[in-house]
Structure 1
Amino acid sequence: MLTNNRTDDAATRTQHLEALEAMNYEMANYSLWLTGNSTSNFTLTPLNPVEMPLVDSLLTLGSQLDSMEASYYTNLTGFWRGDIEFHNLTSNSTDPWQPLAHDLISSANLTNATELSDRLGSWNWSASNKVAISVGDKLVWSKPHLTNVSKDIAVIHGKIDLTDPGSSDELRIDFDGIHFLSNGSIYALAASSGYRYRPDLRYAPSLVPEHRLNETAQVIEVEEYSRIAKNKEKLEAGTLDLDQDDDDNPKTRCTFDFFGQVDPSLVPQFQLEELEEEIDSPTGISTVKQPPLLMNGLLISKDCGMMYKLKDIRGLKSQSLYRKITTYAGISAIVNAILLLLLTRQMSRSHSAVGLARVSRYPFLAQSLIDAVSFVGHLTLAILADGRPSLAVLAPAGLSCILFVREAQYSVLIGQIQAPEDAETPLPRPPSPQPTPPPVPPTSDHEHEADNNDTHSETAPLIQPTPPATTTQAPAPPPPQTPQEQGFLRFLFNHIRTDPSARLWTIMSFFLIVVFRVVVILSLPLLFVGCLYAFMWFPQIHRAVRRGRTSGMSAEYLIGATLCRLYFLLYFMACPKNILDVEPRRWVYLVALFMGLQVAILLLQDLFGPSFFLPRRMVKTTGYDYHPPMPLPDPEAPEQSLGDCAICMDAIEVDPTLRQRPDDEKGVGVGVGGLWAQAGARKSYSLAPCHHLFHTACLERWLAIKNICPQCRRPLPPL
């Protein structure tokens, strides 16, 4: 339903049907011109006589080769990358071809500066130094009924992408033309994508040598009628894209002539044909080693007075690229499966509250963001690839998604367990001041005697005057406040600020939105992922030092996860022939070295202590001692215990070895054996910071579930 265009605007469909009818009318005139009928309205504009001499002075077009010694590639379908060099044809340079360039542009209207500026547009032509070309090469004579069409001519079309390194902006140029198989030469017309003028293949014969004009025109006639038939079928089936409107403000209005020449290979023709057939349809046979696919070319614009020289453009056939993507997808799926296995084993090792308290959540949060980027990248690659490679890339994409979910859940769980660590214990409120009673006036001795006499008398009791009571006015209660309605944004802010889980999910969502937004611009995701890699294990080192405890991560997980992560980083950032054609960055080796250094520090912390690499004066945190010396009970008491355990409610009995012998009471030392006995006895009890006493074994089992005191619910430090 999403791809069916039958429900589109009827006016749009009518417009495209009229365009197809116009193309049929144009091709009818083209066919009449091809047969020499004078009623044809088509006229082939001859090529400027100076243009081909200019091309010959800059590019050596191919010639026929001895098929037993050398040959040309016949199918150029694939992706090409290389360098380009900009030349201004209107400049007064000392190049030997400059007079020919001046003669070429003299016929163009370049004196009007306003019109020339409108043609050039907003693109920075001199900034581009890299080019990417996607080529589709089609043999027209492959159909059985086309027996009169030349077998030496193929129709070639594609896109040329120029990149501005300063702004990372791109300019796309469409080209359509002819490829001669016997000499590897290319003649094509080109124009900017979105411009109303599109390359018209009917005018391509004006570029080719004169002795090959007729056969070229016949091939173009067959190709154009084939395109019209396919577009009509797509329009009727509802699969033709009807939204390809011309851009009213294209980046440029320049038109180009594209001339290319494929470099010959020192391989006999029959061996190269066998190699190309094996690449297209693999059968497993042994073939000659694949020679490099190279091309040089020129991109000339007469109406804008400029030229690009394409030097040593290296190509990769589509089938080879798709096979390379499939191989990468298989290796990536294995690496992600290993990461998932390592993560599962690490989660099983540190599933208790004690284990989770020693692990930092931020390394897993960073890895989840990396896997989110990996999921988006692999999914995009699967959409752009065709056929079998797209299905293969779905495997690492799915595993990256699972890793992202598991790591995000694990980091949230760690945050929930460690939340009481930063919770502030509320201080007890001071007691409210009580009203002071009124002072009683002192009485004299005579009054005391009278009181004693009156006590034994039977007369009416003496009514003593009540002293004036001092009224202490209690502070008036505050007036009831009218509840104010809290806005949604304020409520959301307070909830994120106070709830650790909400805060963590908010941070993750923010980073994911940033990642999805900037993933189109290649430099920003690379910088973002590079920072995540460089500081992946640093939060774990900081937590171990701050808490005075080791990391709790196994060497298996640290080393395995680091190596698996570095596979992706080094493949895309250090390998010059990666599937995305990302240029190598030298700083990636520093990131890998920094990651290895962090892993080494974590492993050494398990051996020499969390703060082994810091000076003593910088170590501010010392671990809490759960086994301080305790006062022993009276030896004559009926129960020789330190008290009852707050967990199992059994008595914490005193080890008999703690009792001092008579020699000890006289000042004789306990000896080494006595010291070991006292140290072992201390391990049998644990005194929490809240002064609640436990059996050490009972407290260890409790802390495996929760890291709070089972009696007062206050957070406890690691045992």
Structure 2
Amino acid sequence: MSTPADEQIRDLENGTDNIASQPRSSVPSLLFISLALFMLMNGHGDEFATTREMYVNGLQSLNHQLGNFSAWLNGTETNFTLPVQDPNTMPLVAAFLPYGREVDPAKASYYSNMTGFWHGNVQPHNLTSLNVTEQSSPWRHLSEQFMIPTNLSTIPELLGPWNWTRTNKVTLNVADKLVPLGQGGNETKDIAIIHGRVELSDPKSSDDLRLDFEGIHVVSTGTVYAFAESPGHGIDLRTLPALVPERLRNDSARAVEVELSARISKLKEKINSGAFEQDSSSDDSDSPKTKCSFRLFTQLEASTVPKERMEELEHEYEEPTGISTVKPPELSLDGVLLSQNCGILYEVKHVVGLQTQKLYSKITTYAGMSTLVNFFLLALFRRQASQSSSAAGLSRVSRYTFLIQSLIDAISFVGHITVAIIAEGRPSLSVLAPAGLACLLFIYEAQFAVLIGQIQAPEDVSPPQPAVPSPVQPATPAANEDGTAPADGNPPAATPAPAPAPPTPTAQATRPGFWHYLWQHIRTDPAARLWLLMSLCLIVVFRVVIMLSIPLFFIGSLYSWMWMLQIYRSARRARSSGLSTEYLVGTTVGRLFFALYFLGCPKNIFDVEPRRWIYAVALLMFLQVLVIFLQENVDPGFFLPRRMARVQTYDYHPPMPLPDPEAPDQTLGDCAICMDAILVDPSLQARSKSSDGKERPVIGLGISRAGILGKVGASARKSYSLAPCHHLFHTACLERWLAIKNICPQCRRPLPPL
């Protein structure tokens, strides 16, 4: 009696699709959605009520600050007092930074909007312990006067674990907002509120020291005055006017008042709409903390573009109309990052900025190029997958080659999504196109790798031998009372086998729990395993990329090993890969586009410093493609020494005895696929002596003393194929069958490649 499982397998063998009528399990989709939500939530379970309460408390604090600050500006009673700046600060800053110079608007100008991303170098100075060169510098006495009020005994505790003297790189993320002051014709646009983040980098560590800053940008002089603190410490905007010169203090205070009002209005909108943002302080949990308080002073470098043309250029950046403007001058600045309570001074040298609009234009251009490259890679893969879709084709390629490519595409997908998150607005939509194509490549390649694994699984598994039935033991004759045999000479009837004992009643089976059912489902359902593997891979890659802790040599290793495992498989199996030349060359060029852009181009959108070893990786990849090409056209193991043994493949054409030559049908038997007889030409028969001295016809002996088999034995050997399970087929029939499935059509045991 056949079971439902046997019927299902039989339907698959016959090519019918009764399984399609069964309802599809939703567990794989449920797993994927649940894990994707876990990935996107990033493990945080902040409750809505707690977040809203935090926003409400922040709104109350801002309202209180604005009320006291407005009263101070109007000269009424208040508990706010503007702090007094140390008179030794500005002379020390002026020793490093010539700032506050106005230029002739007819000959030169400054950029009025500093919003963008800045990168440059810094040089540290320890004001508590000057070196020999610093001792002879003209600013030595200024630093001594500046450090008089500092308590030196508290400095080690304030510094924290960061290595201050090893820092040599700085990154600024700046948002600049111009604040118009006055009304009607008396309106002035010379003061802007600026805020953002400073990141100091240690060349021998992957960590960054992050500081949030709030400041005032004086447009006419290109000067910035700002306070900088560790994330979470908070900066009081009302203290900013204390940094600027006396002549600009009143306008700066009015700009701060306007900014406080704007932030209160924005916070009210978020509370009313419930659009709460994630607390950014959690993102800085891994950043080294410090209790040092800093002041940041920067000076833009003046350009040779007249002010009128500069305004025209910046207006074209903000609202493109297509008009021809002047060539954009370089956006750069110098600065000083100064801490009095820790005795640290960083000299900021020639920090180059990329304005947000230019960055977005750069991102959009890159998105277009990467979309074309990913589409090209997807087309190549689909074409190659269709060419290698048969069981014979899948047995020739390496699954690890496609697993490595799927991992590369997973990293590409998460990286493009990260760019889309950073580039809020229109550029983010353009980056979603290459991200979607990378996700498709990841899914297709992972599925293809799983399919290859299913086809190649039986290669190294020795097929089980057919079970030998145990002989039936004859029944012992029953003796007479005197011990003699029965008188009738008839054999006694066989003793019937004892009836099997009835099954012992057991307790009713308990229903398995959810986790047990889930585990069994993952073990038995290939689709569930595939979705689980893809979800875990995405989660790991997402977290690694977001944390910016992925080592670059790991990416280089993925590229280096992409074709290596295919070369190894082809050499070990003595079979070519079947990969087309267009797929090998096109995929290599497409993959290297991303690697060379981010690790070879100094002006990539992530500002990753070029790595020279990426060119060696590119050369290695092309050498691997050349080796695969030679394996395809020369020999799969052409580079291996002759003494190296290869994997012994199964011989489907062993020597077989022929039937008696006097028999009417000279056949080896019936083919298990087409059910036709496997005929043998009588001229191919040869006789060999068996152990009993009789001659028996044998086919497939190869070179024989008979002579005729030496000429046609090879062709005769190809007419039949004997599987490891001892089922006989026409070689042509078996080749067509193995192109579809790699199991025996009779017993469904796995078959090795033909």
Settle same-fold status: TM greater than 0.5.
yes
Q: Residue deviations 1:173-207, cap 9 Å, x none?
A: 222222222232222222222115x1x33333333
Aligned-residue offset at 1:584 = 1.8
Matched residue of 1:646: which SS?
A: coil
Q: Is the 8 A contact 1:657 1:678 kept in 2?
A: no
Which of these residues, 84, 88, 96, is aligned with residue 58 of structure 1? 96
2:63 pairs with 1:28: no
Instruction: Report the alpha carbon displacement of residue 77 of structure 1 after superposing the two structures with TM.
Output: 0.7
Change (3 A) 1:137 1:506: closer
Q: Distance in 1 between matches of 2:327 and 2:55?
A: 50
Match of 1:458 in 2: none
* 1:242-641 equivalences in 2 (<5 Å): 251-427=289-465, 511-627=537-653, 638-641=664-667
Please name the residue that 1:157 is paired with: 195
Residue 105 of structure 1: aligned partner: 147
> What SS class does the counterpart of residue 617 from structure 1 fall into?
coil
Q: Is the 8 A contact 1:657 1:677 kept in 2?
A: no
Q: Which amino acid aligns with 2:582?
A: E
Residues 1:86 and 1:677: Cα distance change in structure 2 (over 3 Å):
same
Letter in 2 for 1:227: R
TM-aligned CA deviation for residue 544 of structure 1: 1.6
Q: CA 1:704–1:234 in structure 2 vs 1: closer, same or farther (change >3 Å)?
A: closer
SS of residue in 1 equivalent to 2:595: helix
- How well do the aligned residues superpose, as a CA RMSD in angstroms? 4.1
Q: How far apart in 2 are the matches of 1:188 and 1:704?
A: 72
- Alignment counterpart, residue 139 of structure 1, candidates 169, 178, 203: 178
Gaps of 5+ in 2: 1-40, 486-502, 687-704
For residue 329 of structure 1, report the CA deviation from its aligned partner: 1.5
Contact 1:68 1:268 in 2 (8 A): yes
Shift of 1:297: 0.3
TM-score, length-normalised on structure 2?
0.78
1:506-529 per-residue CA deviation (whole Å, 9 max, x = no partner) reads: 776665554334323434353333
Q: Which moved more, 1:281-290 or 1:405-414?
A: 281-290
Separation in 2 of the partners of 1:626 and 1:271?
83
Counterpart position of 2:163: 124
| One-letter identity of the residue aligned with 2:71 | N
Structure 1: how far apart are the matches of 2:456 and 2:530?
13
Number of corresponding residues: 669
CA distance in 1, matches of 2:254, 2:619: 62
Contact 2:671 2:729 in 1 (8 A): yes
Judged with a 3 Å threshold, the aligned counterparts in structure 2 of structure 1 residues 465 and 254 are, in CA distance, closer, same or farther, namely closer
- 1:207 is matched with 243
Verify: 1:170 aligned to 2:196, yes or no.
Answer: no
CA distance in 2 between counterparts of 1:651 and 1:136 reads 84
1:465-499 deviations in whole A, cap 9, x for unaligned? 68xxxxxxxxxxxxx99999999999999999999
SS in 2 for 1:551: coil
- Tell me how far apart the structure 2 counterparts of residues 12 and 66 of structure 1 sit (CA, whole Å): 49
1:202 & 1:491 partners in 2: Cα distance? 61
Distance in structure 2 (CA, Å) of the matches to 1:387 and 1:255: 34
CA distance in 1, matches of 2:99, 2:59: 41
CA distance in 2, matches of 1:356, 1:92: 69
Residue identity matched to 2:167: S
The more displaced of 380-389 and 499-508 is 499-508
Which letter maps to 1:581? D
Structure 1 residue 390 displacement after superposition: 1.2
Shift of 1:684: 3.6
The answer to whether the 8 Å contact 1:611/1:619 transfers is no
Gaps of 5+ in 1: 439-460, 467-479, 661-666
- CA offsets 1:622-671 (integer angstroms, 9 cap, x no match): 544545666677776543444432221222334587589xxxxxx9976x
Native 8 Å contact 1:135 1:159 kept in 2: yes
SS of alignment partner, residue 353 of structure 2: strand
Q: 1:519 to 1:539 in 2, by over 3 A?
A: same
Superposition map of 1:194-233 within 5 A: 194-196=232-234, 198=235, 200-233=236-269
Partner of 2:23: none
In structure 2, do the counterparts of structure 1 residues 404 and 269 end up closer, same or farther at CA, with 3 Å as the change threshold?
same
Go from structure 1 to structure 2 and tell me whether the alpha carbon gap of 1:526 and 1:498 turns closer, same or farther (over 3 Å shift): farther
TM-score (norm 1): 0.82
Partner in structure 2 of residue 472 of structure 1: none
Whole-angstrom CA distance in 1 between matches of 2:394 and 2:613: 34
CA–CA distance in structure 2, aligned partners of residues 238 and 487 of structure 1:
39
C-alpha displacement at 1:586, in angstroms?
A: 2.3
Larger Rg, first or second structure (1 or 2): 1
Structure 1 residue 562 displacement after superposition: 1.7
Structure 2 residue 710 is the aligned partner of structure 1 residue 710: no
Greater Cα offset, 230-239 or 641-650: 230-239
Is contact 1:150–1:215 with CA below 8 Å preserved after alignment?
no
TM-aligned CA distance change 1:629 to 1:68, over 3 Å: farther
**Relative to structure 2, which stretch is displaced further, 370-379 or 43-52?**
43-52
Q: Is the 8 Å Cα contact of residues 414 and 541 (structure 2) preserved in structure 1?
A: no
Quote how far apart the aligned CAs of 1:298 are. Answer: 0.2
State how far apart, in whole Å, the 2-side matches of 1:207 and 1:591 are. Answer: 51
CA gap of 1:211–1:87, structure 2 versus 1, over 3 A, is same
Q: State whether residues 20 and 232 of structure 1, in contact with CA within 8 Å, keep that contact through their aligned partners in structure 2.
A: no
Shift in CA distance, 361/492, structure 1 to aligned 2, threshold 3 Å: farther
Q: 1:193 aligns with which of 231, 246, 261?
A: 231
1:695 corresponds in structure 2 to: 730
- Once the two structures are TM-superposed, the CA of residue 317 in structure 1 deviates from its matched residue by 0.4
Deviations 1:180-237 (A, max 9, x none): 22232222222222115x1x33333333233333333343343333333433444444
Deviation at 1:602, TM superposition (A): 1.4
Contact 1:294/1:314 (<8 A) preserved: yes
For 2:528 and 2:274, how far apart are their aligned partners in 1?
Answer: 46
> What is the match of residue 686 of structure 1?
721
Paired residue secondary structure (2:550): helix
Q: Distance in 2 between matches of 1:149 and 1:41?
A: 30
SS in 2 for 1:171: strand
Deviation at 1:262, TM superposition (A): 0.9
1:181 aligns with 2:219: yes
Is residue 418–residue 546 contact of structure 2 (8 Å, CA) maintained in 1?
Answer: no
CA distance in 2, matches of 1:704, 1:548: 19
- Cα distance 1:532–1:145, how it changes in 2: closer, same or farther (>3 A)? same
The one-letter code matched in structure 1 to 2:646 is K
Question: SS of the counterpart of 1:416?
Answer: helix
Report the identity percentage.
55
Deviation at 1:703, TM superposition (A): 0.9
User: In structure 1, what residue type is equivalent to 2:63?
Assistant: E
Give the superposition deviation at 1:356.
1.4
For 1:224 and 1:13, the matched residues in 2 are separated by 15
Q: Distance in 2 between matches of 1:630 and 1:462?
A: 56
Structure 1 residue 388, shift from structure 2 partner: 0.7
Cα deviation code 1:429-458 (max 9, x no counterpart): 7898999999xxxxxxxxxxxxxxxxxxxx
2-structure distance, mates of 1:230, 1:245: 20
Give the match's secondary structure for 2:352: strand
Cα offset, 1:81, TM superposition: 0.8
Per mean C-alpha deviation after superposition, the further-off stretch among 634-643 and 319-328 is: 634-643
Alpha-carbon distance change, 431 to 648 in structure 1, aligned in 2, over 3 angstroms: closer
Corresponding letter in the other structure for 1:615 = P
| Cα distance per residue 1:102-139 (max 9 Å; x no partner) | 10110x2314x1x3334323433223221111111111
